[in-house]
Amino acid sequence: MTAITRAEALARVEAGIAKAEEIGVDMNIAIVDDGGHLVQFSRQDNAWLGSIDIALKKAKTAVLFRMPTSVIGEISQPGGPVYGIEHSNAGLVTFGGGLPITDEEGNVIGAVGVSGGDVVQDTTVAEAVVRAAVPARA
């Protein structure tokens, strides 16, 4: 499987920062690899401190289940099929702002987690990270 590189992760985070500046919200942006291990992180100057951990956990959550955090949020509501799943894996974050990152063949090679705005803003920045132009992979 293709591995996410530092060069790619750095390019993705900077693309996310550019989008955050465009929409005028200070964000925390984290990129993890396919095993959920941190590769790159950046916090803008006035971003909420409480959003650091949320960004990290959104990225972890998205890669551990290879799906957007928002999907897990929908199915883990009270009465839903996986209610309480957020207590597993030393804590998940199950609202929007975490997205898997895939290679050209569709394999999940990592994930991004964004936190600092509302869920729509976080998701907008996460999508910019996913769509970012990245250096060619080996």
The residue ranges that bind a second copy (CB under 8 A) are 1, 3, 5-6, 9-10, 17, 33-45, 48-54, 57, 61, 63-66, 73, 76-79, 81-95, 118-119
CA distance 135 to 69: 26
End-to-end CA distance of the chain: 11
Shortest gap between Cβ of 121 and a second copy (angstroms)? 11
Shortest gap between Cβ of 104 and a second copy (angstroms)? 17
CA distance 56 to 126: 13
Q: Which amino acid appears at position 133 of this protein?
A: A
User: Which tokens is 59 given?
Assistant: 């990225």
Query: Nearer to a second copy by C-beta: 35 or 133?
Result: 35
Shortest gap between Cβ of 136 and a second copy (angstroms)? 14
Shortest gap between Cβ of 23 and a second copy (angstroms)? 16
CA distance 65 to 136: 26
Find where tokens 């499987």 sit: 1
